[in-house]
Amino acid sequence: MANYLFISSRDPYESPDSESFIKLVESIQARHHSTTVFLVQNGVLSARSGARHSEIIQRLARAGVTVIADRFSLRERAVGKLADGVAVADIDRLVDLMIEPDTKTIWQ
């Protein structure tokens, strides 16, 4: 079983492929692979509690996907309260995840 690391840096409100990206994450998770979504830059906007896209993030977390938001990106975009199931980490955690053995990284 492989580890899948999805990095999302795009604004979910402006990116036309956000929906297909989420479907890909869900399909990988459904195959029982270890799946992590790391939100950076404008990707953290979907982690804001009450945001339209936060429901999708919560659904992923409930399905067993690890969802992490970059601390610096959150601070720069004034995102305070996060949706349930979202962890916060520094960018060095992303690097650690990328170099784990058997990890496939997909960046949106």
> Among residues 108, 57, 63, which one has the least CA distance to residue 82?
57
Q: Give me the mean pLDDT over the 5-29 stretch.
A: 89
Of 59, 56, 83, the C-alpha closest to 69 is 83
pLDDT tens by residue, 21-61: 989 999 999 999 999 999 999 999 999 999 888 899 999 99
Distance CA 7, CA 94 (A): 9
Higher pLDDT, 98 or 54: 98
State the CATH architecture for 3-107: 3-Layer(aba) Sandwich (3.40)
Domain residue spans of the chain: 3-107
- pTM for this predicted structure: 0.94
